[in-house]
């Protein structure tokens, strides 16, 4: 059986809307690459958290949760399991909860990040937002470093260090975009078939979707932490 239909079936049978909301999975980031079903999660105080599922085509499924605390660090797998499709939601809950609790004591990554040197930045007019995001993604690939995009005073700035305050975007060398609002992070998706993404258009589509990072003031169930999840300490 072709792996892609199997992965699509896996997404519909296991990653229900309720489970995505409970675990902080951003549904818009769900994608399959022919072998794995990949998704990104609300990272909490970390820079990035992601997950994958694989159908072994023998009645069992592999799952893994990876994350990195600071932008310059390499992502590591922090929890993994093999389960039947019946047990997979429970194993996924346990894997995500373990990942959350593992680093729950850490301050937000912005407080402990390494400042990149030499500093690099490039400015664009607001009307050049597509050029700005394309330049940021290209710089991230070429430099193998996370690049940040922020707008203000009629300008869009791409830089290898985030702004001191306010809302900004980040793009990884692999092309994954996120929206950062204070200490809340919203993983974003890049539209299929586009070499570059207008981060603002991507955010406009993704952010209103239910999810804990994108709707910090929301009263929906999606905005609430999952069972047993620790909230960051005051001031972090």
Whether 37 and 62 map to the same domain: the answer is yes
- pLDDT tens digit sequence for 213-223: 333 333 323 33
Among the listed residues 217, 216, 210, the one whose alpha carbon sits nearest the alpha carbon of residue 22: 210
User: Could you give the count of Cα atoms lying within 13 Å of 92 in the half-sphere of its Cβ?
Assistant: 27
Quick one: DSSP state of residue 107? Answer: P
- Tell whether pTM > 0.75: yes
pLDDT score of 164: 79
CA 50 to each of CA 69, 86, 137, 148: distance values in angstroms, whole numbers, following the listed order: 12, 22, 19, 19
Residue after which a domain boundary falls, among 61, 94, 109: 109
Whether 55 and 126 map to the same domain: the answer is no
Percentage of the chain exceeding pLDDT 90: 62
Residue after which a domain boundary falls, among 109, 141, 165: 109
Residue 230 lies in a domain: no
pLDDT score of 209: 33
Query: What is the residue-wise DSSP string for 22-53?
Result: HHTEEEEEEEE-SS-EEEEE--TTSSEEEEEE
Residue 219 lies in a domain: no
Residue 229 has pLDDT above 90, yes or no: no
Residue 123 has pLDDT above 60, yes or no: yes
Residue 180 lies in a domain: yes
Residue 207 has pLDDT above 70, yes or no: no
Distance CA 112, CA 117 (A): 16
> What is the token pair recorded at 144?
């193998």
Print the domain residue range for 142.
115-206
Average the pLDDT over 5-34 and give the result.
87
Distance CA 181, CA 235 (A): 15
Residue after which a domain boundary falls, among 60, 81, 109: 109
- pLDDT tens digit sequence for 62-110: 999 999 999 999 999 999 999 999 999 999 999 999 999 999 999 999 9
Residue 192 lies in a domain: yes
Residue 225 lies in a domain: no
Residue 212 lies in a domain: no
């Amino acid at each position: 059986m072709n792996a892609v239909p199997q992965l699509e079936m896996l997404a519909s049978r296991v990653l229900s809307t309720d489970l995505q909301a409970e675990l902080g999975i951003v549904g818009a980031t769900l994608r399959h690459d022919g072998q794995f079903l990949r998704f990104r999660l609300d990272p909490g105080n970390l820079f990035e958290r992601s997950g994958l599922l694989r159908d072994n085509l023998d009645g069992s499924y592999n799952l893994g949760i990876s994350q990195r605390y600071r932008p310059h660090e390499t992502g590591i797998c922090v929890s993994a399991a093999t389960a039947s499709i019946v047990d997979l939601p429970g194993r996924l809950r346990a894997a995500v909860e373990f990942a959350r609790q593992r680093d729950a004591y850490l301050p937000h990554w912005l407080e402990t990040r390494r400042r990149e040197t030499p500093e690099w930045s490039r400015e664009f007019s607001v009307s050049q937002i597509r050029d700005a995001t394309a330049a940021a993604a290209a710089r991230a690939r070429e430099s193998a470093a996370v690049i940040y995009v922020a707008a203000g005073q009629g300008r869009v700035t791409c830089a290898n260090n985030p702004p001191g305050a306010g809302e900004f975007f980040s793009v990884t060398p692999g092309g994954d975009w996120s929206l950062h609002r204070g200490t809340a992070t919203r993983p974003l998706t890049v539209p299929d078939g586009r070499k570059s993404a207008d981060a603002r258009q991507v955010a406009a589509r993704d952010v209103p979707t239910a999810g804990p990072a994108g709707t910090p003031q929301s009263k929906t169930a999606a905005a609430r932490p999952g069972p047993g999840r620790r909230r960051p300490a005051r001031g972090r």
